Amino acid sequence: MNIKPTYQQTVGQNLPPAPLPLPLSQESLRVNLCRIMDDRSQTLGVMDILNKDGKILYSLATVELPWNNNQNGISCVPMGNYRVISYSSGKYGRCFWLIGNDNGGYQDNRITGNGYTRGSILIYATPKATKDLQGCIGLGLKFNTQTNQMGSQKGTGQFYLSPAKEQSQQALNKLLSTLYSMGSFRMEIKSAFPTVTDEDRTIYPQLPQSFSGIVQEYAQRKNLTPIPWNLIYTVV
């Protein structure tokens, strides 16, 4: 079914036109974001920062909204290739702005896919997939692998070791120190696991729904899971 794309603003309002990104040949670093879990309340992923030779410099934990066909305000953005620029937000301070993707031909500072076109998608410091996230990407140093009273894991940050918001800001600061001065870079968003394609050739992420098994193993290989708090603290 063909749906006419509609432009919908998300986080930012009255954003200025994005500056032209650097030519790809001048970019010495790039970013891969591999999504590893979608439990219908959040999407967790691993962000690898790579040098021009493809060597991973370090990895960060990410949190996004669940996949809801790229609908404005309730979905993470589609998989694919993105151009990202350094940006200073009045609300979030220094951060990064996804100014276009391959589905939309990197034009008009918009994110296109699945019949929807969106704008103002940022990478900034937030540890949870709340409704305020809208479609942006939050960062963390580690995944939160501890369960709440309802038995589910939420976002990034180690509650018993350090406040989640503080760790999220530390993760953003690390990314800022590496990439902000570049002005722009490439980022690929993909699934760490196989995807499925429907009869209309639309690619859907087919991600595990819990932080266990292959998901936990993947995160552990990236050194993004904390030491269990009960191995550090002894209640007496």
> Average pLDDT by consecutive 10-residue portion of the chain (236 residues)?
37 47 65 94 95 94 94 93 93 94 77 87 92 92 72 67 84 97 92 64 67 89 76 38
For residue 157, what pLDDT is reported?
Answer: 84
Query: Is 232 among the domain residues?
Result: no
For residue 37, what pLDDT is reported?
Answer: 92
For residue 153, what pLDDT is reported?
Answer: 53
For residue 234, what pLDDT is reported?
Answer: 36
Give 18's DSSP letter: P
Of the candidates 14, 21, 203, which has an alpha carbon nearest to the alpha carbon of residue 119?
Answer: 14
For residue 21, what pLDDT is reported?
Answer: 52
Query: Is 145 among the domain residues?
Result: yes
| Structural domain of 33 | 7-226
Query: Is 116 among the domain residues?
Result: yes
Query: Is 233 among the domain residues?
Result: no
| CB neighbour list of residue 78: distance below 8 Å, 6 or more residues apart | 70, 101, 103, 111, 113, 114, 189
Tokens matching residue 138: 């939050």
3-state helix, strand, coil in the chain (%, to 5): 15, 35, 50
Residue with tokens 């990314």: 175
For residue 207, what pLDDT is reported?
Answer: 86
What is the rounded CA–CA span in Å between residue 96 and residue 27?
Answer: 16
Query: Is 1 among the domain residues?
Result: no
For residue 108, what pLDDT is reported?
Answer: 67
In degrees rounded to 5, what are phi and psi of residue 53? -90, 0
For residue 162, what pLDDT is reported?
Answer: 61
Report the greatest alpha carbon distance in the chain. 63
For residue 163, what pLDDT is reported?
Answer: 81
pTM exceeds 0.75, yes or no: yes
C-alpha separations of 67 from 21, 38, 76, 161 in Å: 28, 7, 5, 30
Query: Is 235 among the domain residues?
Result: no
Number of domains comprising the chain: 1
For residue 48, what pLDDT is reported?
Answer: 97
Query: Is 202 among the domain residues?
Result: yes
For residue 14, what pLDDT is reported?
Answer: 44
How many Cβ atoms are within 10 Å of 139's Cβ, its own excluded?
A: 26
Residue with tokens 């995944």: 143
In degrees rounded to 5, what are phi and psi of residue 154? -135, 115
Query: Is 234 among the domain residues?
Result: no
